[in-house]
Amino acid sequence: MDTMTHDETSSAVPLLVEEEQHELLGCELGDVESNSSYCSTGTTSSFKTVFHGLNALSGVGILSIPYALASGGWLCLILLFVISSAAFYTGLLIQRCMDVDSNIRTYPDIGEHAFGNKGRLLVSVVMFTELYLVATGFLILEGDNLQKLFPNMGSLEVAGFEIGARQSFVIMVALVILPTVWLDNMSILSYISASGVLACAIILVSIFWTGAFDGIGFNEKGTLVNWHGIPTSASLYAFCYCAHPVFPTLYTSMKNKHQFSNVMILCFILCTFGYASMAILGYLMFGSHVESQITLNLPTEKFSSRLAIYTTLVNPISKYALMVMPIVNATKSCFPENCKKRSFSILISTGLVISSVVVALALPFFGDLMSLVGAFLSMTAAIILPCLCYLKISGTYRRFGFEMVVLGSVVLLGVAVMIFGTYTSLMEIIQHL
């Protein structure tokens, strides 16, 4: 939602480095916030849309995927493919909803077309909350990995308060990120934010190299199934496929919209292969001892490990502003026109960063937070809402047939993961607190 790469991307905004894509970037960020700006469409080739889609689907979720497999055991890998298939199907449902009316250009537009203003509000709240929590997860991730790289750093004392090493790193990263959220022209960040797909590939190759050639090996057998950990596994898998708010922009930007389904197939196959590979490698390397971020298990004295960790550190810093900019724009739109000055925008951006730092310090558990986001928000945005909107827009709910059975099954899957995953995640957070 680096997905959020979902990054992302996480809800992560897909980017490409070519200058001709800067206009598309501006459309994506604006469209996530509202439908007030109209952008030209039909300028992006299917090949480039594949890279946009890969960047949207790939993100920091790749770091927690081995932990997801370890939580549920080998059999829960089936859940990854089930959730991936369901997310692909709902991605196509978004396309069908948009084909009904050419004025539908964003995800909130779909919600409004289906359920009126309440539908737009619901979709927007889910999206913005997901973006905020993914950005907060970036800070937690940065603090954890910096502490892994510099374990000897002690606590700091500021104004009589003692701040731990990890908390200090979170605050320092926030100070580094802060100037990026003050930028009005987000295309400046596209040159460094276009690294999402490459970053995931580097991390995957680096971890494979660490296991194969740096003495760790792939000797852990793991367990066949751990029923208690299944909700956590499903929640983290869902977090990896939370790019649906971006799909409307991908679709409207394509020259040949008939190729959208083929683009989605390729993107989901490649990303699922990458996620599954990372899950298997990490579980074979560290077994049940794998951390919520696999980079925390890596030996920092090895070059391949340090490369993976450094790549992990750079990506969230470059994408944080992309996550929070739609929230800033939406917040500004709630105020009178005379308040929408540059200084007011900086004030809102700064306040947003400060609040996310507070949340990151209060909930310093990356795996639990991402599990909660995946269960409650990603499942809602990626599985449940597309099905409900399509049922209402298409009128399928009025007639019982095969399509209705499929839609009902997908909704039940989404509701089950949302309920059990959210409950499990909240219990884990409460226990850690």
Mean confidence (pLDDT) of the chain: 82
CATH classification for the domain delimited by 19-432, as one of 1.10.10.10, 1.20.1740.10, 3.40.50.620, 1.10.10.60: 1.20.1740.10
Q: Which residues pair with 161 in a beta bridge?
A: 158
- DSSP H or E stretch at residue 204: helix 196-213
Sorted by where each begins, the domain ranges of the chain are 19-432
What's residue 253's pLDDT? 84
Q: Which pTM does this prediction carry?
A: 0.82
pLDDT in tens, 60-88: 889 999 999 999 999 999 999 999 999 99
At CA 261, angle to CA 30 and CA 127, rounded to 5? 30
What's residue 160's pLDDT? 59
What's residue 194's pLDDT? 56
Residue 229's closest CA among 79, 99, 88, 100? 79
CA-to-CA dists, residue 332 to 24, 42, 186, 300, 340, angstroms: 22, 30, 16, 43, 6
Q: Mind listing the pLDDT tens digit of every residue in the chain (433 residues)?
A: 444 444 443 433 443 433 344 444 444 444 443 433 344 456 778 887 888 788 778 878 899 999 999 999 999 999 999 999 999 999 999 999 999 988 888 899 999 999 999 999 999 999 889 889 888 988 998 888 888 888 777 666 665 566 777 888 899 999 988 888 887 654 444 444 456 678 888 999 999 999 999 889 999 998 999 999 999 999 999 999 988 888 888 898 888 889 999 999 999 999 999 999 999 999 999 999 999 899 999 988 889 998 998 888 877 776 787 778 778 877 877 777 666 677 788 888 899 999 999 999 888 788 888 899 999 999 999 999 999 999 999 887 778 888 899 999 999 999 999 999 999 999 888 887 7
Cβ-Cβ contacts under 8 Å for 138 (sequence gap 6 or more): 60, 316, 317, 319, 320, 323
